[in-house]
Structure 1
Amino acid sequence: MTEFSIVIPVYRNSENIGPLIDALGALVAELPDATEVVFVVDGSPDDSYAKLAEALPEAGFSTQLLQHSRNFGSFAAIRTGLAAASGRFIGVMAADLQEPAELMVEFYRALASEAVDVAVGRRVSRDDPALTSMSSRAFWAFYRRSIIRDMPPGGVDVFGCTRAVADELVRLNEANSSLVAQLYWVGFRRAEIPYSRQLREHGESSWTFRKRVKYLLDSIFSFTNLPLDLLLITGLIGTVVVVLVGLLVLTFSLTGAITAPGYAPIMLAILFSTFLMITSIGILGAYIWRIFENTKGRPISIVMSREKW
């Protein structure tokens, strides 16, 4: 039986394939002999798959190479890798090597001690441009405050878990969700391993602003009651405002300051009810859309090919 599996999603990482395999080759010497690396090429438009298919038979360690039929996203690729991995313990890392590969050794040691079921990387510093670093801190600060309070300040980009935790994550076959939030939702015993994020040497990150916003919205609607809480607060504030303005309108009417009977209260009622209705429809629509997506029963990903060496 495989002792440890390393899952690596690959998308637009052609230039990193060589350094990645070299780093893994040096790494497996510190891991059990029964270690495998599972690569999942997530519909990458470059030649990442071709380079991996050429290099892995001579890599010197056990590997699997899977390819999605199109780009389904990094979370779907990780989920595919978790399902394919055969290890008792599993580590997940990025192909760009910004998170040190040595974290896999730390994850394995923590998990093999049987004291924890989940090990996550806690970023203590990052060698990124100032603007990128500042925007990331702001993003994760809001994420922690609004969605997952237990998450490390810099978020989670790399983690390890036991086979039991991986099976639970694979069983949560949800579309438009967050795998990281699911990792915290399932619970189990967790440990944080500190590390310093390194500067990306090759290529550009695919973590765009649009993807970041989608990730945030998926997490909000899937794991919090924040939109409903905002709706409730808005309704309460609107109610107070309407009551106060209603009292003023009534006072003005009694004193003869308003000459058009019924005009002001009718307009206020129309405006407030319209605002509340539109806000409610928008928020409820977001939930209904996600329910609709999950009831379709479509797979989150489709494996187009599977190879082993």
Structure 2
Amino acid sequence: MRTLSIVIPVYNEQDSISPFLEAARPAVARALALMGNGATVEYLFVDDGSSDRTPDILGILSRLNGDVRHIRLSRNFGKEAALAAGIDHAAGDAVIPIDVDLQDPPEVIVEMVRHWLAGAQVVNARRADRSSDGWFKRWSARGFYRILNRLSDYPIPENVGDFRLLDRQAVDVLRQLGEQARFNKGLFSWIGFRVATVDYVRAARGAGASKWPWGKLWSLAIDGITASTTMPLRIWSYVGGVVALVAMAYAGFLVVRTLVTGIDVPGYASIMVAVLMLGGLNLLSLGIIGEYLGRVAREVRQRPLYIVAETPGAEPAPAVERLRA
């Protein structure tokens, strides 16, 4: 008997939860029919420290519906940690993370399951177009993926978010990974396995407002690059080498010119330009090094990625979730 786990991270989504379940149930029922007799589903909501009525609504739904479970984190740890918590606690043979806002259509789940039954272990849901986004978001997303894939040690598919199907074997591997600074899209790509892709058109948000302002998107982009590659450090080693060679060549030129022509070296302006340029390069390179050192510090502290405060309807959860190592 197979089980399908639908993992839904939520943060202050009191208006979106019930519409999501109403929209998801028909599509999931068709997916269960493909999986054969006795197939079951669990809707696993991860409450990422909500301050509205989200915990109350989830409590009511889990008591009234045997296929709804939820866990509550002790505070807002961020979507990446909440998604990791859901994957850790999912019991299904296949796990599908999905947002509650209905921008990712539940109907795509049927095609995902079809590919999974055909042998795929990871089924990516890829946006066919980004016409629903503004021009700046489309441009910045395209630039991010191009930069990331040029720098990364492994390819990360463009226009693929967290919405995908993960086989139990893939889930078990993900649970063994110990990163504290999470970039789940990178980890989903890093693990490999047999991959299939389903294209879909993203819908408008069903209810509520986006929890992703530009500041958070920028932080996610930085986390994505630093989590996926050390190439920025190597690039600045190359830049430093090139600058040193140029400086030595220019110094040699000035010495030769002074000896041959007797022209004095121009002073203040050229020195200030060189100092300011090198100072800027130093600060930029220190910032890049600092990003990586910050990640190292987070890993060395070995704090848990998230803390589960409550798992209603299940065995009492420990106060502090296990270290992901």
Pairwise TM-score range, normalised by the shorter structure: 0.7 to 0.9
Residues 269-307 of structure 1 show CA distances to partners (whole Å, capped at 9, x for unaligned) of: 977876665454333222222111111110110111102
Q: How many residues align structurally?
A: 306
Mapped to 2, the partners of 1:153 and 1:31 lie a distance apart of 26
**What does 1:2-17 align with in structure 2 at a 5 Å threshold?**
2-17=2-17
Aligned to 1:37: 43
After TM superposition, give the deviation of residue 111 of structure 1 in Å: 1.7
Question: Is residue 68–residue 303 contact of structure 1 (8 Å, CA) maintained in 2?
Answer: yes
- Name the CA distance, whole Å, in 2 between partners of 1:259 and 1:142: 41
- Judge which range, 293-302 or 28-37, deviates more: 28-37
User: TM-score, with normalisation over the residues of structure 2?
Assistant: 0.84
Q: Give the C-alpha shift of residue 103 in structure 1.
A: 2.0
How far residue 6 of structure 1 moved from its aligned partner, in angstroms, is 0.9
Cα distance in 1 for residues equivalent to 2:95 and 2:17: 21
Cα deviation 1:156-210 (Å, max 9, x = unaligned): 2301111111121122121223011011111111111111000113111112211
The answer to whether the 8 Å contact 2:124/2:160 transfers is no
Separation in structure 1 between the aligned mates of residue 111 and residue 47 of structure 2, nearest angstrom: 25
21-30 vs 83-92, which deviates more? 21-30
Q: Tell me the distance in 2 between the aligned counterparts of 1:149 and 1:172.
A: 17
Gaps of 5+ in 1: none
Say whether residues 1:58 and 2:84 are aligned partners: no
**Which secondary structure state, in structure 1, belongs to the residue aligned with residue 263 of structure 2?**
coil
Distance 1:58 1:148, change over 3 A: farther
Structure 1 Cα separation of the partners of residues 143 and 187 of structure 2: 22
Whether 2:174 is the aligned partner of 1:169: answer: yes
Distance 1:247 1:79 in 2: 57
Match of 2:229 among 210, 224, 231: 224
**Selected match of 1:184 from 189, 193, 199:** 189
> How much does 1:265 deviate?
11
Q: CA 1:46/1:133 → structure 2, altered by over 3 Å: closer, same or farther?
A: farther
Query: How much has 1:104 moved relative to structure 2?
Result: 2.0
Corresponding residue number in structure 1 for 2:207:
202
SS at match of 1:22: helix
Distance 1:2 1:110 in 2: 15
On the 8 A contact 2:125/2:164 being kept in 1, the answer is yes
Distance 1:245 1:99, change over 3 A: same
Alignment-mate amino acid for residue 120 of structure 1: N
- Report the residue type matching 2:75 in the other structure: R
Q: Indicate the residue corresponding to 2:312 in structure 1.
A: 307
More deviation, 152-161/10-19 = 152-161
CA contact (8 A) 1:126 1:199 kept: no
Q: Report the TM-score, using the length of structure 1 for normalisation.
A: 0.88
1:49 maps to 55
| Partner amino acid, structure 1, of 2:246 | V
The CA RMSD measured in Å over matched residues stands at: 2.8
Q: Secondary structure at 1:291's aligned position in 2?
A: helix
Residue 120 of structure 1 pairs with residue 144 of structure 2: no
Task: Return closer, same or farther for 1:203/1:146 CA change in 2, 3 Å cut-off.
Answer: farther
Alpha-carbon shift at residue 264 of structure 1 (Å) = 11
Shift of 1:105: 2.1
Q: Supply the distance in 2 between the matched residues of 1:18 and 1:275 (Cα, whole angstroms).
A: 52
